[in-house]
Structure 1
C-alpha cells in the first residue's frame, strides 16, 4: 500500500508554516493548515481549519473535524509563540499558554492522527522546536517548552517505530519571519549585527526550514527517527574567539 500524502500543518497561514505548506503542496500532498487565520495559498489541495491552538477545547474540536475529513499520516507541528521576558518578569500564565500551544496541542494532534497512521503502518511526525532550546536570554517559557519537544519526540520515536511512524524535530533560528521582526526591528543595526554574528553570515529564510521538514516527512526516509536537526546557520554549535 502506498503512503497517502495528507499532511496537517499547525500555524500554516504565515511565515515558516506557510513555506512548509507550499513545499508539501509542491510535492503532491493534500495539506490542511490549522491556524487562527485561513491560508492565502490558492491551491485545490490546500485546506484551512481556523482555530486558536492555545484553547484546548477549541483544538480538540478542530482536531476531531480534521481526522473526520482526512486520513492524516503526516503531522507538522509548527505553530509557536515567544512571550519574551527576563526571569524577574516571567508570567506563569505565559508559561501555561506556551505549554498548551507547543506541547499539549502536539499531543492532541498526534493522538488523533495515530489510528490512520497505524492502519497504514506509516506516519511522519515533525515537531518544530527552536535553536532557543539550547538557551537564550529572555526565553524562559519559550526555551522550556521548545526543549520539552525534544524529549517528547524522542519518546514517541521509541514508542511508534514498530508502527512505521517516525518522529523528528527541526529546530530553526534565527529565521526572517514576522515573529522574528516582532523582536528585532527590520533593517536595524541589531538585525545587521545578528546576521554578521551567525557562522554562515546570514539570517535564515522560511524555505530553509521547509526543506528540512520535507526531508523528515519524505516516505523514503524511514530509517531516521528521534533526531533533532538545527537549521540555524551554525548558531547552535557555539563559538569562542581566542
Structure 2
C-alpha cells in the first residue's frame, strides 16, 4: 500500500509540482483544492475544510502533510482591509492548523509523521504585503512550535520559504515586464526565476523517511536572494 501525502492547494502551481513529484517518488498524493480532480473544498471555509479532511481520512490515516495552499492580497498597512486580512490568515494559517490537527492522531499512533509548511521569503518582510507576509511569518513560528511539541512522537515539522517562483500567483502580484518584477529577477544571485519543481524537490527531502533528524527548520529556496537578509 502506497504512503499517502496530503497536499493542500495541489491543483496548480507549486502544489501541482509537489503532487507530480510525489507520484514519481511512489507516494499517493491526496489533494484538497477548490479546483481540480482531487477533493474539492474552499480552504478559507472551516466547515468545508473539515468535510474534505474527513473524506481524506476515510481511507485511513495520513502520515505526511504539505500545507501548501496560499493566497495573496497586495496592500500596504494603510490600505489593507480587515476582510482581506482575515481571509488571508484563514487560508494561509488557519487551514494549516486545521489540517495538522486532523491527521495528527494517525501520526502519533504510528510514531511517525512528516509535515512541511510552505511559507515564503516574504516572511522576512516585503512592502505591500501586510496580510501575506504576516501570515507566512506565522507559519514559521508554527513550524518551530510544532517541532518542539511533536518531536517526541516521531513527527518532524519543517518549512520552505520560496523566493520568486514562476507561478500564476506570483505573476498576478508581480506583472511580467514591470520594472519592479525586473528588479526582483535581476537581484537573484543565480540569475533566473525559480520553477515550481525547485520547491517540490526540497519538499520531498523533508517528506523522506530518512529526514528524521531535521525538524523546526526553514529552508529558503530562493536562488540565493535571502543571503544577507535571513539570519544565520
Q: State if a TM-score over 0.5 links the two structures.
A: yes
Counterparts of 2:36 and 2:207, CA distance in 1 = 23
Match of 1:71 in 2: 61
Q: Name the CA distance, whole Å, in 1 between partners of 2:2 and 2:28.
A: 9
Give the TM-score normalised by the residue count of structure 1.
0.91
* Structure 2 unpaired stretches of 5+: none
CA contact (8 A) 1:4 1:73 kept: no
* TM-superposition CA deviations, 1:4-38 (whole Å, max 9, x none): 62100000000000000000111100111100011
Q: Work out whether residues 84 and 138 of structure 1, in 8 Å CA contact, stay in contact via their aligned partners in 2.
A: yes
Q: Rate the CA distance shift 1:89–1:189 in 2: closer, same or farther, 3 A.
A: closer
Residue number in structure 1 paired with 2:162 = 172
Aligned Cα RMSD in Å? Answer: 1.5
In the alignment, the residues of structure 1 paired with residue 60 and residue 10 of structure 2 have an alpha-carbon distance, to the nearest angstrom, of 17
Alignment partners' CA distance in 2, 1:179 and 1:210: 17
In the TM superposition, 1:22-171 aligns within 5 A as: 22-39=20-37, 48-171=38-161
Give the CA deviation at 1:114.
1.0
Which whole-Å CA distance do the structure 1 matches of 2:24 and 2:222 have between them? 24
Q: How many residues are treated as equivalent by the alignment?
A: 229
Distance 1:189 1:120 in 2: 51
Offset of residue 104 of structure 1 = 1.1
Q: CA deviation at 1:186?
A: 2.8
Q: Following superposition, which runs of at least 4 residues in structure 1 exceed 6 angstroms of deviation?
A: none
Residue 192 (structure 1) shift: 3.5
In structure 2, C-alpha distance between the alignment counterparts of 1:138 and 1:118, rounded to whole Å: 40
2:216 is the alignment partner of 1:216: no
* Aligned counterpart in structure 2 of residue 13 of structure 1, from 11, 14, 29: 11
Maintained 8 Å contact 1:6/1:70 = no
SS of the equivalent of 1:88 reads coil
State the TM-score, normalizing by the size of structure 2: 0.94
CA offset at residue 187 of structure 1?
Answer: 4.7
Contact 2:2-2:26 within 8 A present in 1 as well: no
What is the CA distance between 1:166 and its match in structure 2?
0.3
- Give the Å deviation of 1:184: 2.2
1:190 shift after superposition: 4.4
Residues 4 and 168 (structure 1), Cα distance of their counterparts in 2 relative to 1, 3 Å cut: farther
Q: Is 1:204 matched up with 2:202?
A: no
